[in-house]
Homo-oligomer: A and B are copies of this chain.
Amino acid sequence: MADKTTPRILQGFCELLPQDQLLFDSLTDKINETYKKYGFFSIDTPVLEFSEVLLAKAGGETEKQIYRFNHYDNDLSMRFDLTVPLARYVAQHSQDLVFPFKRSQNSKVFRGERPQKGRFREFYQCDADVIGSESLDICYDAEMTSLIFDVMKTLDLGDFVIRINNRKILSGFFGYLGLSNKITEILRVIDKLEKMGLDKVKAELKEVGADDKQISDILDFVSISGSNSDKIKALKKIDAGELYSLGVEELDTVVTMAVQLGTDEKNLKIDLSIARGLDYYTGTVYETNLIGHENFGSVCSGGRYDNLTGYYSDKVMPGVGISIGTTRLFSLLKENDMLGSLTKKEKSAVVLPMDNDRYAYAAKVVSEVRKAGIRCDVFWSDKSGKAKFKYASRIEADFALAVGETEETNNTVTVKNLGTGEQEEVALEKVAEYLR
């Protein structure tokens, strides 16, 4: 026989041990159930697409990160996000979709960058987007806010803040300052305010070409403070043209409506300094931080865009969406000993036949328990009783159901609660009920 191959996986790709996988699945399930509750339809797109289609929009940095190759004369790429596939899906199937189209997708994406410690090259994203045909009511932006709130509540990872802003306010305001041709650069600099601090931002704004007066106006503006309604009031007092006013109006509506939809206002904060790095956000933008864990960065981000499908279709398709990087979030939670809140798993049991003559009775027991819908394993093995209980505790079962000669004669099961150590002989027909 040939030499053995060392079993290993690529750096930046990840897989979990079974008990961690259960927790990761619980994280994902909670997010997806909340998306569902909000009426989103889950879709699933191919991992591989034609490069021409997938990279219609890409360029520069993005393109360098693509797993791209030729196969039977086709130039193929692995998806690097879920937004481009969504755009393609919506453009391709627009005749068969109902608009506004509320889609969610929980899938792996691939970034073929050079391996770097702590960077994932394969990771899950849970995205939710609402896509309108021609137009999309601003209320959907409020619904997304409320969706973030509900997801964070359901995940129960501690206190959090949803920071919200509107790019129209920023664009309008900077236009008013006479800096319209530098908006993107200024927004990029402002976006880094938290990371780099005031001085560096000032310096960078100067580099971009703002004069001292403009820099001072910009910084005054992004530091407007107080409650959400204080901020809206302050914003409404500034006269900075139509686009600006529309942005303020939208932000006001979204915040008001989000609260009506159930968002607790203490978790929602207007933050005029956030802009999101991406170029395509045009209205509402969101970031979400865990209080006390700001170093995690935003755990749920997104915003409103004017047109999703521009590269594939003439129809204008505005949308609003959010994204949660679940692989990254899980990894942060694990590193910070915060997986505790995810341990909501179903009760499970394992039947331990105490000797080989008990297999038929063990079969009867496990089949009863499973019939009741309870997760139940059997340890078919002639190992010692000690080894059997060890197996039960190592798979982290909640209950061991020991069956020996006595139990079979009595038509019972000895149920041991592996958490408390308590045990009790229970009639077979009562076991399922007892476990619940």
Contact = CB atoms under 8 A, between A and B. Distances in A.
A37 interface: yes
A67 B36 CA distance: 34
By size class, the interface of chain A is 35 or more
Contact of A4 (B25, B48, B314, B370): B314
Most central of A18, A100, A110, A142 by chain B CB within 10 Å? A18
B360 A260 contact: yes
Interface string A66-83: 010111101010100000
What 3 pairs between A and B have smallest CB-CB spacing? A39-B377, A69-B69, A18-B41
A110 B47 contact: yes
Contacts of A140: 380
A4 B312 contact: yes
A72 B69 CA distance: 12
Given A47-B122, A48-B122, A378-B139, A371 B22 contact: no
Interface in A80-112: 87-89, 91-93, 96-98, 100-103, 108, 110, 112
A314 B374 CA distance: 37
A378 B42 contact: no
B17 A42 contact: no
Interface stretch (A8-16, A185-193, A222-230, A288-296): A8-16
Contacts of A139: 359, 378, 380
B261 A143 contact: no
B7 A367 contact: no
A221 interface: no
A348 B5 CA distance: 51
Most central of A7, A39, A310 by chain B CB within 10 Å? A7
A16 B43 contact: yes
A298 interface: no
